Amino acid sequence: MIIKSLVKHKVKTSKYIEHYAKRAYNSLPTAFAKPLATDTLFTFVAGCGHSGTTLMAAKLSNHTAILGIGRETGVLSQGRHSLSSIKAILREWDYFAEFYGHSCILEKTPKHIYSYERVQKVLTKNKFIVMTRNPLDTIASLYKRFGDMEYCIDRWIYDNSKALELRNKENVLFVKYEELTEEPEKTLKTTLRFLGYDYESSILETEDTIYNKTSQKRNMKVREEQVSQSIKPNRDGWKKVLSNEQSIYIMSRVRETSAKLGYPT
């Protein structure tokens, strides 16, 4: 069995039932949960992992109006919390934003690509920034981390297929990793305009980010170091990781989704 939102393969029947039982239980208070009334804009950076979500969140959080959450919270993940509990957590974030004089809260958890509908139920003022990246580069990066090709391909397909469901939403902006790394200032200006803010020179500052102000673990420790450096183009890195045969197989699996995202097939 597979749980798509978690991209977990070969899940035991007991764990599969437990996951969906928790989701059902946590949905019980949903009918009584009203959206959080606030003037603060909540922004969520999401998309398939290894597509530039951390880089985007790190740079946007350099803006003086934006309060960035310095870790992946997963607070909106399906089955983890009821909407009432999520609302209580977001209310605390809202308090700190107001206290420190920020008008926008920004959180980055790639898997929140599956949580768009939940956000609409609990927040009236929200926006999503969805990061996408060439499938070969993304899957090669995932493969270096996990070492399971089928898992990496499935994750790219599942996450990006879910992202495509949000294409026509007014509060969703799609940003390509290639645009961010090759034209960072232009891309960040466009993104900030979507959020309602002017560009600031501090956006592209290096070294200090929200991710080196808190303790990071595992893969985020690597990302912490990467996003503190100057942005550089990073295209076709897959050629150092994958064989030609592997790339052909990957494209045979992802071709349809890749075309819909505007990537070569």
Over residues 204-222, the pLDDT tens digits come to: 987 677 777 666 566 555 5
Pairing mode of beta strands 41-47, 172-176: unpaired
SS3 of 215, please?
coil
Answer yes or no: are the C-beta atoms of 61 and 68 closer than 8 Å.
yes
The lowest-confidence range among 14-18, 25-29, 218-222 is 25-29
Does 22 have pLDDT greater than 60? Answer: no
CA dist 110 → 36, 107, 206, 245 (Å): 23, 10, 23, 29
- Cβ contact 41:128 at 8 Å: no
What number is the average pLDDT over the span 116-125? 94
Q: What is the pTM of this model?
A: 0.86
Q: Are 95 and 87 in contact (CB under 8 A)?
A: no
Report the candidate in 179, 211, 183, 185 with the shortest Cα–Cα distance to residue 200: 185
Dump pLDDT digits (tens) for 229-255: 778 888 999 999 999 999 999 999 999
Residue 253 identity? R
HSE-up (13 A, CA, CB side) for residue 109: 16
Please state, in angstroms and rounded to a whole number, the distance separating the CA atoms of residues 153 and 62: 33
Distances in Å between the Cα of 198 and the Cα atoms of 5, 100, 102, 194, 236 are 35, 19, 14, 10, 32
